[in-house]
Amino acid sequence: MLMTGLLLAATLGVSLETMPPRDPHSDANTAEVVVRALALDLDVDFDQRRLEGTAELSLDWKDPAARQVVLDTRDLDVTSVDVIDAAGSPHAAEFVLGKRDAILGSALSVRVDTQAPTLRIRYRTSPDASGLQWMTPAQTAGKQHPFMFSQSESIHARSWVPLQDTPSVRFTYTAHVRVPKELRAIMSAPNDAAHALDGDFSFKMDKPIPSYLLAIAVGDIAVRPTGPRSAVYAEPSVVVAAAKEFADTEKMIETTEKLYGPYRWDRYDLLVLPPSFPFGGMENPCMTFATPTVIVGDKSLVSLIAHELAHSWSGNLVTNAAWKHMWLNEGFTTYVENRIVEAVFGKAEADEEFILAADELRKELSETPKPDQRLVPDFDGRDPDDAGSDFAYTKGAWLLRTLETSYGRDVFDAYLRGYFDHFAFQSITTDQMLAYLDENLIRKHAGKMSLAEVKAWIEKPGIPGDAKVPSSTRFEAIAAARAEWLADKRNAEALDGKSWNTQEWMYFLDGLPKKLSTSKLVQLDAAYHLTGAANAEIARRWYLAAIRNDYKPARAAMAEYMTRIGRRYLVVPLYEALAKTPEGRDFARGVYAKAKAGYHPMTQTSIEKALNKSPGHS
């Protein structure tokens, strides 16, 4: 089973590189033709909320009989398609835009008479493109200029560029982007901090990337250096605090290089987006996009940056070939993230973060269908945005921790570095990862862990019974104090919460019982001002406790939080919890009516799903 794909390829005498595995989330005919390069030429129109221009695709034909190119699109308005012959002359080509599928969008099929080297597609995006968010000046921190940014993962690149939108295909790109004069354009390629604001920006990404790493942002964006090869880009009112919070970026890059080899993407810059950004961070190459909700003043949430930086090795360099293999991106990255946190901020903090994640995963066991607890779940027919879960992240990282413990850190670190080198700039499946693991770790160091044991982690639901979790004396002390407070043996002030770091507050709040009396909530709130807490992670957990126990004094600040922030992880669970009672659902609907315009389309979709679920169903 394990070697099937490799053996078949070897028997047929073809290399795997020529047979990308079929990706159920793409209509592209990648067995016949593969896109190798993309050239974008786009106007950014804030009035119309559209990108408009051309995409030129350089084609690598695989099947001599093929006479069509099928591309992925969603809600694109395609006006013309030209085939450009070897002499550079364009010829109009026949094309058909297929019926719109709710998950996949519309396949764009282009007929060709000969296997031309290039296609040029003239198109414009929809104002409702699923991968773009257009913000009015009022929705930004500065209130003066509009802002636009993309989020292409998982399958949203197709809503702003017609292409083969599958992580199994890698391409280089260039882009020429025209924007309003006072604004700066940024892309997932090397960016020039000194570029004049002349309304005309050019980009060149000369390393092959998958489509979900294509990214663009335009806005009133200032720049501050944080190191020799890193800088922070953000709205002017945010950039100073952001540069301070992310001052350890160079230290984190050097740490990761020591472990896993050179950083291969030239610069590592960070773009801090307005608070409506639906994710914590997005590992766009050369330019991580990040939520401002991790800027809390004490660097306690920069593990998010460690995570996005780690993707420069796991994900961007070695990429999952289809979304059901996303643990190859996220599990490996979560593991590497924790190693970076340990090296830069110490083992105690790294252990605390892993314990919190492991506790969270255990809670999700009861809410996640068994088949989705496997590391390679079945994604067919499902939207990868909904099908993914914490299992890919935490269980994936847990498996790598287990391998590290079994083989010893020195052996495992050297192995992992070799893995990144071996598969650099390739898109792979779990079987390919396992074949490499078997040959280069398991067989070389017999008697540690068997291939069957590793496969059990991957193929079985749940968490293996012998999975180890580190201990934390700080957490143990907090658990003891919490128990005494719950038993009325000490008051809230005596918990000593003022000395806790963010992770310790998260641990304390995560461990509160489901039912808590109003007097306990009032005590805690009076002692630590949790209602309205500036730290978004602490506020999220406090508001969840407030909703569970119908603690109304938190409502006004909660509504402000839900309106200001659009990061799905922070706000969607609040909507879900509120929707469990009719009164809570009415309140949530009222908040949503005001907040909706400021939310990203992906956040809107998740919240509407939560609000429309029948009550009592979690």
Set 173, 393, 407, 575: catalytic member:
393
Closest approach, Cβ 282 to Zn ion, in A, equals 8
Set 153, 308, 342, 537: catalytic member:
308
> Among residues 330 and 342, whose Cβ is nearest to Zn ion?
330
Q: Look-up: residue for tokens 């230290």?
A: 251
In 3D space, the residue among 43, 389, 380 whose CA is nearest the CA of residue 199 turns out to be 43
* Known catalytic membership, residue 260: no
Closest approach, Cβ 432 to Zn ion, in A, equals 20
Q: Look-up: residue for tokens 């198109």?
A: 123
Tell me 101's DSSP state. Answer: B
> Among residues 246 and 485, whose Cβ is nearest to Zn ion?
246
> Among residues 159 and 314, whose Cβ is nearest to Zn ion?
314
Are 108 and 98 a contacting pair, CB within 8 Å?
yes
Closest approach, Cβ 479 to Zn ion, in A, equals 29
How far is residue 252's CA from residue 258's CA, in Å, rounded to a whole number? Answer: 10
Total residues in contact with Zn ion, by rule CB under 5 A: 2
Which tokens sit at 101?
């599928």
> Among residues 218 and 328, whose Cβ is nearest to Zn ion?
328
Closest approach, Cβ 311 to Zn ion, in A, equals 6
Closest approach, Cβ 253 to Zn ion, in A, equals 17
How far is residue 337's CA from residue 446's CA, in Å, rounded to a whole number? Answer: 28
> Among residues 284 and 531, whose Cβ is nearest to Zn ion?
284
Residues near 253 by beta carbon (within 8 Å), at least 6 away in sequence: 227, 229, 230, 263, 268, 309
How far is residue 614's CA from residue 68's CA, in Å, rounded to a whole number? Answer: 46
Q: Look-up: residue for tokens 């809600």?
A: 75
**Which residues within the stretch 312-351 sit at the binding site for Zn ion (CB under 5 A)?**
330, 333
How far is residue 199's CA from residue 182's CA, in Å, rounded to a whole number? Answer: 7
Which tokens sit at 332?
């490996």
> Among residues 316 and 333, whose Cβ is nearest to Zn ion?
333
Sign, Cα dihedral of 259, 260, 265, 269: negative
Looking at the DSSP assignment, which residues form a beta bridge with residue 124? 52, 77
Rg (CA), the chain: 25
Closest approach, Cβ 283 to Zn ion, in A, equals 6
In 3D space, the residue among 178, 301, 305, 183 whose CA is nearest the CA of residue 232 turns out to be 305
> Among residues 82 and 342, whose Cβ is nearest to Zn ion?
342
Closest approach, Cβ 36 to Zn ion, in A, equals 26
In 3D space, the residue among 73, 289, 41 whose CA is nearest the CA of residue 161 turns out to be 73
Are 423 and 435 a contacting pair, CB within 8 Å?
no
Which tokens sit at 353?
């973060």
> Among residues 330 and 352, whose Cβ is nearest to Zn ion?
330
How far is residue 515's CA from residue 264's CA, in Å, rounded to a whole number? Answer: 50
Residues near 344 by beta carbon (within 8 Å), at least 6 away in sequence: 248, 251, 252, 255, 306
* Known catalytic membership, residue 268: no
Closest approach, Cβ 329 to Zn ion, in A, equals 6
- Which residues would be at the binding site for Zn ion (CB under 5 A)? 330, 333
For the annotated catalytic residues, the residue numbers are 308, 393
